A and B are shown apart, each in its own frame.
Chain A
């Protein structure tokens, strides 16, 4: 059975000319060759290495540091510096994570204990599942012609876990935060889905390969700028970033649904929004910025596509990080009013443009 699996892994390995000699050498050693074949097996590589878990963790390290550093720069400060001074405090998030890991995770008496503890971990399922469907060139977890629709569907599951977290916390502020999360959810989800479906109409398919191929000359952002705009605003709302940081407004309701969490569990729920942002940014890059297409480097081989996808995603997220230091927080009723008036109107315009352009192209 092991040999069957080994054959399966070996038949579908990622080809990277740069490290091919090392791989060839390792493939001769028993047992190590099995592990190497597993790691380089395309579906595994896509989900666990890039653009999956490993770079997700790297991205978390980077974005927390970059966001704090950028905000500090705007605000006449220095930002994180003391942890690893030579690299300007770049592993600050790692230090915070370690601190959270060894801190006591308190579960208070009123909480629904099983749900309270397991929901932060359960919330990872809808984060990680879409990554299996997001392709990067040849490196793909599960190939599906409905990948875009599936990613949107999985993203819609995340707020449900957050609302459940608020319910399990059994706290007044957590309750208010959950209600706000539900309200913001209904207000961003509709424009978001309409904007995505306008792009599906434009490309004529929900297949990322078709979408990237159609963007070989003009990126989707230029073909349908309104959908581009709606997607960005929906992304800000969905990942509760300012000016829509409403469900977890720390000055108003003290981190809303997450008010009772401490220790490792708080570390887990804190990065939820960042992970959601990562998945949405991957989808954004595929739909609007040409996906994994980019300058091809012979040495990297199959790694080219995931690398380009990752770099584009990081650039998009880094640009979005600036809004944190620019805007104040909207009120929940204002956010809902904006999204149900002009955001939905804009998304319908985007849908019309999408259908029209899709008909021409």
Chain B
């Protein structure tokens, strides 16, 4: 179509200045001078999450999306500098409450690396079960958000119904539905008895059964496939270039999983596959996570059947029941910088603790959450798609602003 250039003075709407947009005035004027306009999606929008997206559209086609994250920034890193190491455990879980065990695990492993604590086998297996339960919970949560973003309310309710089983398992194991702060340096807080493990083992089959009905109504639904297939495609090269992580990187055909590359906890002793897909579109990103759920269920079952006997906490720490703060309140890490990589549900999670060697609080704590890492890839995937695809791609990435903003 032929474009006509109009050389007339343009007056961008006033609210574009009063809203403190992270874009220069010239950009707005340039947009309005062309045959384009800006749509501000969020933060108060049913399909934006806690984030503002400045979408530049031409007709129905998205030209560029500028994210304005930070709406739910909660200064987790700064608050952590004023708290004891043990008090930081509930704090680091907060950025992603669905995925609390993985965040907890990353932080605790950094402390263990600093203090050279050897974790007993049984504690490793319990931690693995917790991490995988939280992974399934997060994937189900993301699937629900994806479903409601493309208008499928049944697909929203089913995963939340299934997730109740995950929450119940976590309640029986740890005492809290999520953010249980169950993983402590040296092991876990309490031992988990045989009966509870049996219940979790049975729950995995119940989840699998219910996932079948979810598959019938949502995953194999022709309208869902029509909305997600060939939408927001990231090729293998692009995905690597933009630093996409986790299941979204694997959906573009890259076999990278921190659980395999730098194994931690019990992952080395279990048999499971890295789930990958080649298409790199929205449906592949969704399917990778769907298949990861079944892998996680299998990991949990293996953990429970081959659960070793022994102590739930390291000899170096000793019994923690009743004297929890005596054991942990005066932790002082040796001076240095300690970094761990964890495979959280949405991708690689990096925890760095910098200690000055004399204070009982971290000198600096750094969290690089997976959401923050794949935000660039998410924005690039939106280019050239239609405005209605914004929500579909958003859901296919499972972007979670509190996690990215920390």
Contact = CB atoms under 8 A, between A and B. Distances in A.
Interface stretch (B309-317, B371-379, B383-391): B383-391
A332 B157 contact: no
Contact of A333 (B37, B45, B156, B386): B386
A243 B223 contact: yes
Interface string B315-350: 000000000000000000000000000000000000
A332 B387 CA distance: 10
A252 B39 contact: no
B357 interface: no
B226 A330 contact: yes
Interface string B378-404: 000000001111110000000000000
B217 A328 contact: no
A71 interface: yes
B263 interface: no
Given A172-B37, A245-B151, A77 B157 contact: yes
Contact of A76 (B45, B155, B158): B158
Nearest to B152: A328
Contact of B389 (A75, A173, A245, A331): A331
B381 to A, nearest CB: 16
Contacts of B149: 251
Interface string A320-336: 00001111111111100
B12 interface: no
Interface in B14-72: 37, 39-40, 45-47, 60
Given A75-B154, A251-B46, A327 B390 contact: no
Contacts of B39: 172-173, 176
Nearest to B48: A251
Given A249-B388, A327-B223, 17 more contacts: A76-B157, A76-B158, A176-B387, A242-B151, A246-B388, A249-B151, A251-B47, A251-B149, A251-B150, A252-B391, A326-B154, A327-B151, A328-B151, A328-B218, A328-B224, A331-B227, A332-B386
16 contacts: A74-B154, A75-B156, A75-B157, A77-B157, A172-B37, A172-B40, A176-B39, A176-B387, A245-B151, A249-B388, A329-B150, A329-B227, A330-B227, A331-B388, A331-B389, A332-B60
Interface of A: 71, 74-77, 172-173, 176, 242-243, 245-246, 249-252, 254, 324-334
Q: Which 8 A-B pairs have the closest CB atoms?
A: A329-B151, A75-B157, A251-B47, A328-B152, A328-B223, A328-B150, A325-B154, A327-B223
Interface of B: 37, 39-40, 45-47, 60, 147-158, 161, 217-218, 221, 223-224, 226-227, 386-391
